[in-house]
Amino acid sequence: MMKLINLSAIYTLWLRETKRFLRAKSRVIGALGMPLMFLVFMGKGFSKASLPGLPQGVNYINYLAPGIIAMILLFGSMFAGISVLWDRQFGFLKEVMVSPVSRTSIVLGRVAGGVTMALSQAMLMLIASLVMGLKTTVFGVLSSLIFMVLLSAAFVGLGLAFASKMEDMHGFQMIMNFLMFPLFFLSGALFPLSELPVWVEKIALLNPMTYGVDALRATLIGVSVNSLAVDALALIFFCTAMVGFGAYLFESVEVD
């Protein structure tokens, strides 16, 4: 009888995704390029500015850094779904799908690989933020890892959901870009949500990225809009829903 959860299969898929990521050095550099420019130019450019809505006693580089780390997690996680399209194109997906392994294990293996890739990029950005002047604590960094994993797993699941229903790689990239930028700009990553029009602020409250950014600010710099419990519950719900949604759609994937 096929096991619902096959740890060996999950580990094998995780290892494959991780090795493929480590070998693609240009992919790592490209993924860090734009967020690093945001951090350097906006962080330094507005470092002495008095921005409305900024928490008292918090400079802009400290406010911005958690948002840029969340940006890395969003972009890296959702584009993890592109590996499904590569595997479909080169026949590996068919080999995996016909193996005596549950599709739930396949999804979990890919989610684990995607989270590892996004988390490694986020840690590099965290180091860059510390160099730029981010003030945090060891406990804050360790606590933030929990929310980084939740945020990343949720968006990996969403990326897999779209990838499981698409065959065109360019179309997938366009849809991901169409989704990612509104999620990012309406999360409060770059500026306080309190300065937005009321109707936009209400829309932002439906954005799961909002709670991820807020949780990272709470753990890294000790400033947040919501309580950490609210952020945690929102991210756990979204993560569970997206990974479940991705697994459900992946169950119906057809390969030729």
Q: How far apart are CA 7 and CA 12, in angstroms?
A: 9
- How far from the centroid of its chain's Cα atoms is residue 189's Cα? 13
Q: Tokens for 163? A: 């990838």
* CB-CB contact of 71 with 38 (8 Å): yes
Of 154, 9, 173, 145, nearest to 83 (Cα)? 173
The predicted pLDDT at position 200 comes to 83
Q: How far apart are CA 120 and CA 27, in angstroms?
A: 13
What's the full length of the chain, in residues? 256
Q: Does residue 4 surpass a pLDDT of 70?
A: no
The predicted pLDDT at position 143 comes to 93
The predicted pLDDT at position 1 comes to 41
Q: Tokens for 71? A: 């940006």
Look at 21-25, 125-129, 175-179, 215-219 and tell me which has the smallest mean pLDDT.
21-25
The model carries a pTM of: 0.87
The DSSP line for 56-89 is TT--HHHHHHHHHHHHHHHHHHHGGGHHHHHHHH
Q: How far apart are CA 114 and CA 175, in angstroms?
A: 18
The predicted pLDDT at position 142 comes to 93
